[in-house]
Chains A and B, each alone.
Chain A
Amino acid sequence: MTTAGATALGPRPLRPRAGAVLAVGRMFRLELLHSAMLWLLPLAAGLFWYDAYRPSMAVPPLWSLRALTMQHGALLTFVLPVVGAASWMGSRDSRRGMGDLAGIAARPRWVRQLVSWAAVTGWALAGYAVCVGVLYAATARQAAWGGPLWWPAVVGAAGIPLLAAIGFAAGSCFPGRFTTPLVSIAAFFGLGFSSELAHGGTSYWQISPIIAGAVDVGPDPGVATFYPYLPDLPIAQLMFLAGLAVAVLGALGWPAGSGSRWLRGTAVLVTIAGLISSATAVGLVGTARLDPHGMMNIPALHDAANDQPIRYSPVCSQAAIAVCLNPAFAAYLPVVTSALQPVVSEVSGLASTPTRILQAAPTFTQEPNDAIGIGAPGLPGTGAIAGARPRVLIVALPDQLPGERQPDLTTAEFADQVRAQVGVSLADYVIGSDRRHSQAQQAVRAGMLIAAGVRLVAPGQRMDERGVTARGPAPGTAVYRAAQRFAALPGAARLAWLRAHLRGLRAGRITLGELP
């Protein structure tokens, strides 16, 4: 056996690059085993349960509500464990007096730091994925229709590398016993209060990853249910988070001793690229506008394909006038149907009565002072379904569902809202949708609503904040007295009179004196 033969039979030497990759892989494995983040995962999971899972599960099981509520709380619950663990790991060498020992290691300091950061980030992302997975799995079991919204989850995940980078950089640059608590609290403060600074539809602060969608709209059942979830804002948030994380990590490689000149030059370039990405994202967010469907539209990132409504088959009740809802709202069909029954019984069988009441997407408009106007639906919302079908009343459900947000709404209050808001639309549809009703039309409309149990508020008086009232004639007027008389009639008499006089009433030919 020759020496050459022995060499040929022995293990083949690795190429330098492959060896370096393997070494970094081994280092990563060791860092994973010793990462403080592993021990803080239970804390992160507990905080996620308290601050993200519970509030999300408390809202009705609509994907949009659950996912957008989750995005606000999820990253906030991971701030403290992630920044704390990263800071603790970043200060490890200095804390334990191993700076000189680690300085003579085979790998550049920047590479070692990146591996340690990657271990913290990896554990945190794994924990985040499990937490969000549990929440989404629970929602999938409860949601009547639709699928998960991934963008809110992705934005939260993209925030974790940045948080770890900030914590790691702070621990590395300022090693000390107070660094970890202070930087953790500071990061929580900065992230948590970033949403407070966002006002109106054009605020640059919407770049904050805890802002899910339009800042003044918030999680709303009408958002991302009828139209696809717009990824414009999440894309900008991702650009910002990734860019800033890269910039912070790049800055770790600047100091002398971080590596070779080539490596430090690379770190500078990486930092600049990251900052450019972040600045671009902030600039893009400044161009965002609220679209009619309650989401933020950034023209440079917008895909027109997302403006097409989602196709669905509505779920309908079996009633004199079928009530048809988006399938995501299927759980509310019984309460909506029964709430409308008193109004439906006032108009059933009349010539101008609609055959269906169809729920459509509400429209959102940005108003001054951070207010949002939620308007009646336009025809395009469910154009694909309503099509050219005649005698379909298109309405939006009240803006707030029971259990959706505080102050909460009971199911009975929701039913009152439906009766008042949708009932008015139904009455208007039947007696004539022209806003300039004749006095007789006003009286009949009011009489029908009173008989159906809707509370009326006179013009000039303040409407109740719960939305359970409708506008009606002022007390003491002739219209008011006629409405009271009409409401006092037996239901069958009202219906009989309407059958006989509806055509004239709609045409404005009936006078107040001709009402029964």
Chain B
Amino acid sequence: MTTRLAVLYLVSRRVPAAFAAVIAVGAALRLALIWDWDSYGALQLPFVLETGCATVIAAAIASPFGDPERATGRRLPVLRLSATLALTCGTAAALAAAGTGAHLVGGFLGAARNLVGGTGIGLACAVVLGGGMAWTGPAAYMVIGTYSLYAVWHGGAASGPWIWPARPPQDLGAWLCAGLVFAAGVALSTVRGARGQAAD
């Protein structure tokens, strides 16, 4: 019964399609890394595609049923949390696989940090704006992050830890900020779920 519930939940959130999308983005990253990117493009490229993965995870939490499901589903928080964590871990694995044997700037640590931070923003946006517009938060943050990477490459001032993509992958402050955002996003989305319905 529990397994069936989990399967139904995952199907209703298009999690298989989300995994397919994430694998496609990972493949795109792998293909892009074949190209010899110079200058700041090498810094921005992984971050842009990591953000793409984060928007997919955020979009996946939207419910196609809306209030009826909220009123009747007692195990929704557990299902939301499990699906989100599974998607995030699966995406991190896909990114790690994409970066294997290639020069991924920032390495797996940087990719994982950017992914969890972007996912946290996306989940929070899903709660506030709805699943359909959840992508706007990570996408806007991506513009800020790519500009910061551009500025860093040109010798500009270092960004604060809240602009974590522009910090080194081992930077503790950046990790804390990204982790905090992720925790907040996961907590909000677990308790509240995405606003409205997926079609809104």
Instruction: Say whether A184 faces chain B, with CB atoms less than 8 Å apart.
Output: yes
Asked, given contacts A84-B135, A196-B39, A406-B155, whether A177 binds B62 with beta carbons under 8 Å apart, the answer is yes
A/B interface sample: 15 pairs, CB < 8 A: A80-B139, A176-B17, A177-B132, A178-B17, A181-B58, A182-B55, A184-B139, A185-B49, A185-B52, A185-B135, A186-B52, A189-B52, A193-B45, A196-B41, A406-B154
What's the minimum C-beta distance from A471 to chain B, rounded to whole angstroms? 27
The number of chain A residues touching the other chain, given as a range, is 20 to 34
Complex contact A189–B48 (CB within 8 A): yes
Question: How many of chain B's residues have a CB under 8 angstroms from any CB in A?
Answer: 39
Instruction: Say whether B76 faces chain A, with CB atoms less than 8 Å apart.
Output: no
Please indicate the chain B residues that have their CB under 8 angstroms from the CB of A446 in the complex: none
Sorted from nearest, which 6 A-B pairs have the closest CB atoms? Answer: A181-B55, A181-B135, A406-B154, A185-B52, A407-B155, A196-B41
Please indicate the chain B residues that have their CB under 8 angstroms from the CB of A186 in the complex: 52
User: Which of chain A's residues 83-118 have a Cβ closer than 8 Å to chain B?
Assistant: 84, 88, 95-97
> Which of A8-16, A46-54, A372-380 binds B?
A46-54
User: Which of chain A's residues 170-184 have a Cβ closer than 8 Å to chain B?
Assistant: 176-178, 180-182, 184
Instruction: Say whether B146 faces chain A, with CB atoms less than 8 Å apart.
Output: yes
Q: Which residue of B lies closest to A39 (CB)?
A: B133
Instruction: Say whether B78 faces chain A, with CB atoms less than 8 Å apart.
Output: no
Instruction: Say whether B143 faces chain A, with CB atoms less than 8 Å apart.
Output: yes
Complex contact B60–A177 (CB within 8 A): yes
Q: CA A34 – CA B45 in complex, angstroms? A: 35
Q: CA A84 – CA B142 in complex, angstroms? A: 14
Q: Find B143's partner among A77, A88, A95 (CB 8 Å cutoff).
A: A77
Instruction: Say whether A501 faces chain B, with CB atoms less than 8 Å apart.
Output: no
Asked, given contacts A40-B136, A182-B21, whether A176 binds B154 with beta carbons under 8 Å apart, the answer is no
Q: Find A406's partner among B45, B58, B151, B199 (CB 8 Å cutoff).
A: B151
Q: Which residue of B lies closest to A92 (CB)?
A: B199
Complex contact B41–A181 (CB within 8 A): no
Q: Which residue of B lies closest to A96 (CB)?
A: B199
User: Which of chain B's residues 124-147 have a Cβ closer than 8 Å to chain A?
Assistant: 131-132, 134-136, 139-140, 142-144, 146-147
Binary interface encoding of chain A residues 2-43 relative to chain B, with 1 for a CB under 8 A from any of its CBs, else 0: 000000000000000000000000000000000000001001
Q: CA A14 – CA B192 in complex, angstroms? A: 53
User: Which of chain A's residues 150-203 have a Cβ closer than 8 Å to chain B?
Assistant: 176-178, 180-182, 184-186, 188-189, 192-193, 196
Complex contact B147–A192 (CB within 8 A): no
Instruction: Say whether A76 faces chain B, with CB atoms less than 8 Å apart.
Output: yes
Asked, given contacts A96-B199, A182-B21, whether A177 binds B143 with beta carbons under 8 Å apart, the answer is no
Q: CA A196 – CA B41 in complex, angstroms? A: 7
Q: Find B56's partner among A96, A181, A189 (CB 8 Å cutoff).
A: A181
Complex contact B135–A407 (CB within 8 A): no
Q: CA A176 – CA B20 in complex, angstroms? A: 13
What's the minimum C-beta distance from B37 to chain A, rounded to whole angstroms? 7
18 further A-B pairs in the complex, CB-CB below 8 A; given A178-B14, A189-B48 = A40-B136, A51-B147, A76-B143, A77-B143, A80-B143, A95-B199, A177-B14, A178-B59, A178-B60, A181-B56, A181-B134, A182-B21, A182-B56, A189-B49, A189-B52, A192-B146, A196-B38, A406-B155
Q: CA A405 – CA B156 in complex, angstroms? A: 10
Instruction: Say whether B190 faces chain A, with CB atoms less than 8 Å apart.
Output: no
Please indicate the chain B residues that have their CB under 8 angstroms from the CB of A178 in the complex: 14, 17-18, 21, 56, 59-60
Q: CA A96 – CA B197 in complex, angstroms? A: 10
Q: CA A55 – CA B154 in complex, angstroms? A: 13
Please indicate the chain A residues that have their CB under 8 angstroms from the CB of B51 in the complex: 185
Question: Total A-B residue pairs with C-beta atoms closer than 8 Å?
Answer: 97
Complex contact B199–A181 (CB within 8 A): no
Complex contact B48–A176 (CB within 8 A): no
Of A51, A76, A96, A182, the most chain B CB neighbours within 10 A belong to A182
Q: Which residue of B lies closest to A199 (CB)?
A: B38
Please indicate the chain B residues that have their CB under 8 angstroms from the CB of A176 in the complex: 14, 17
Complex contact B59–A177 (CB within 8 A): yes
Instruction: Say whether B198 faces chain A, with CB atoms less than 8 Å apart.
Output: yes
Please indicate the chain A residues that have their CB under 8 angstroms from the CB of B119 in the complex: none
Q: CA A369 – CA B40 in complex, angstroms? A: 18
Q: CA A330 – CA B17 in complex, angstroms? A: 60
Q: CA A95 – CA B44 in complex, angstroms? A: 33
Asked, given contacts A181-B55, A189-B49, whether A47 binds B140 with beta carbons under 8 Å apart, the answer is yes
Q: CA A178 – CA B53 in complex, angstroms? A: 10
Complex contact A405–B140 (CB within 8 A): no
Q: CA A186 – CA B131 in complex, angstroms? A: 19
Complex contact B147–A406 (CB within 8 A): no
Asked, given contacts A50-B147, A186-B52, A407-B154, whether A196 binds B139 with beta carbons under 8 Å apart, the answer is no
Q: Which residue of A lies closest to B154 (CB)?
A: A406
Please indicate the chain A residues that have their CB under 8 angstroms from the CB of B14 in the complex: 176-178
Binary interface encoding of chain B residues 53-83 relative to chain A, with 1 for a CB under 8 A from any of its CBs, else 0: 0011011101000000000000000000000
Please indicate the chain A residues that have their CB under 8 angstroms from the CB of B17 in the complex: 176, 178
Please indicate the chain B residues that have their CB under 8 angstroms from the CB of A177 in the complex: 14, 59-60, 62, 131-132, 198
What's the minimum C-beta distance from B50 to chain A, rounded to whole angstroms? 10
Complex contact B135–A184 (CB within 8 A): yes
What's the minimum C-beta distance from B56 to chain A, rounded to whole angstroms? 6
Please indicate the chain B residues that have their CB under 8 angstroms from the CB of A188 in the complex: 48, 139, 142-143
Please indicate the chain A residues that have their CB under 8 angstroms from the CB of B52 in the complex: 181-182, 185-186, 189
